[in-house]
Amino acid sequence: MTTQYYTATSIDGFIADADNSLDWLFQLEDPEAAEMQQEYPRFLAAVGALAMGSTTYQWLADHTGFLEDPGKWEYTLPTWVFSSRDLPVPDGLDIRLVSGDVRPVHAAMVEAAAGRNVWLVGGGELVGQFHDAGLLDEVILGLASVVLGSGAPLLPRRITTPPLELTEVRRYGSTFVSLRYRVPHG
């Protein structure tokens, strides 16, 4: 079981633009990167539970419409949403609103994942809390060929000692590179 942060980022390290939009990402469809389209389903097949912050949850709600039509919720996995505010949750979906220390939530996620991986969807601040608690094992980045200038940072933390260990690099077409890092503990 691995706790993973899997996300796309701009060259300058932003996962969303200054308006919390991902339009910059969806405009990068590269016919040469067909193999990249297969990476996400392979990744998701190994995941047993996921967590996200309230901004990510709200973005998904706004862009998929799952609050009005729960069938538009992409995930069949237990999902924890970290939020300090009350958010709407459609009936019938396994979405759990939580707040506070990530450690007890992570323990519940690991139990629910039943040997499969835990995916930290985002945002960067939430993932940083998992890192600070020693619970982040891997960072997988889809590095996109754009520069945003500002926005939501990939990981608003200083992580220098020990440095992340690069374990894999893959090129997908002319617009993406996938970088996989192991997070050393101790």
Domain 1-46+129-173+182-186, CATH among 1.10.730.10, 3.90.600.10, 1.10.533.10, 3.40.430.10: 3.40.430.10
Say whether pLDDT at 29 is over 80. Answer: no
pLDDT at 24: 85
Peptide bond connecting 156 to the previous residue in cis, omega within 30 degrees of 0: no
68-78 pLDDT, tens digit per residue, is 999 999 999 99
Domains 1-46+129-173+182-186 and 49-114 alike in fold: yes
pTM, two decimals, is 0.92
Short-list 174, 135, 164, 151, CA closest to 49:
135
Say whether pLDDT at 37 is over 70. Answer: no
**CATH 3.40.1170.60 is right for the domain spanning 49-114:** no
pLDDT at 33: 55
Say whether pLDDT at 32 is over 80. Answer: no
Separation between Cα atoms, residue 110 and residue 141, nearest integer Å: 22
Q: What are the sequence ranges of the domains in the chain?
A: 1-46+129-173+182-186, 49-114
How does DSSP assign 5-37, residue by residue?
EEEEE-TTSEEE-TTS--HHHHT---GGGHHHH
Using a pLDDT cut of 90, give the percent of the chain over it: 78
Say whether pLDDT at 107 is over 90. Answer: yes
pLDDT at 38: 76
